[in-house]
Structure 1
Amino acid sequence: MKIYVGNLTELMTEATLKQAFEAFGEVESAKIIKNRFNERSKGFGFVEMPSNSEADKAIKALNGSIVNKKPIKVNHADSGGKKKKKPFKRKRY
């Protein structure tokens, strides 16, 4: 199951994110999304856990918990795929 983790500080690393979720079961991967230009954290990431029951326990336990002096948001990742883009409309002068 893919889990969204938001409101992360720049001090959070992928290793510490993975370690936080390993307390609830096996973690396949932990990824923090970074800005491609300066490699700084965008403040959110994703964790993948193979067991749905372990993932649900981790979500319930970690959602709203304080990490690096900030409450983090933890919930199921949206599996709906890419969202449709609105068509570009030119302004007529």
Structure 2
Amino acid sequence: MNIFISNINYSVKETQLQELFSSYGSIESTKIIMDRETGRSRGFGFVEMPDSDEARSAIESLDGALFQGKNLNVSEARPKEEKPRRSFNNRY
């Protein structure tokens, strides 16, 4: 199950996030999303857990939990929506 985590302290590293979630089960991957221009954390990321029951347990336990000075928002990740490309050349 893919888990979405927001309100992550900007100083948190992927290894710290993996350690936090690993107490609930095995982790396939951990990813903190970085800003392309600054290289700084954008304050959200994803954790992939292969066992759905372990993932649900992690979500229930860590949603709202204080971690590195901030209360995490943890939920099941939704698939990225495909948005139509915007064209600025269209004339009516």
Counterpart of 1:82 in structure 2 is 81
What TM-score results when the alignment is normalised by the length of structure 2? 0.89
Number of residue equivalences: 91
What TM-score results when the alignment is normalised by the length of structure 1? 0.88
Q: Distance in 2 between matches of 1:32 and 1:56?
A: 20
Q: Distance in 1 between matches of 2:25 and 2:86?
A: 43
- Please state how far the C-alpha of 1:82 moved relative to its aligned partner: 3.0
Helix, strand or coil at the partner of 1:4: strand
Unaligned runs of 5+ in 1: none
Helix, strand or coil at the partner of 1:64: coil
Aligned amino acid, residue 73 of structure 1: N
Q: Say whether residues 1:16 and 2:7 are aligned partners.
A: no
Aligned-residue identity in percent: 38
- Please state how far the C-alpha of 1:49 moved relative to its aligned partner: 0.2
Provide, for residues 36-74 of structure 1, a one-character-per-residue CA deviation record: whole Å limited to 9, x for no partner: 122100000000000000000000000000011110000
Q: Say whether residues 1:53 and 2:53 are aligned partners.
A: yes
Unaligned runs of 5+ in 2: none
Counterpart of 1:35 in structure 2 is 35
**1:57-68 mapped onto 2 (5 Å cutoff):** 57-68=57-68
Aligned amino acid, residue 17 of structure 1: L
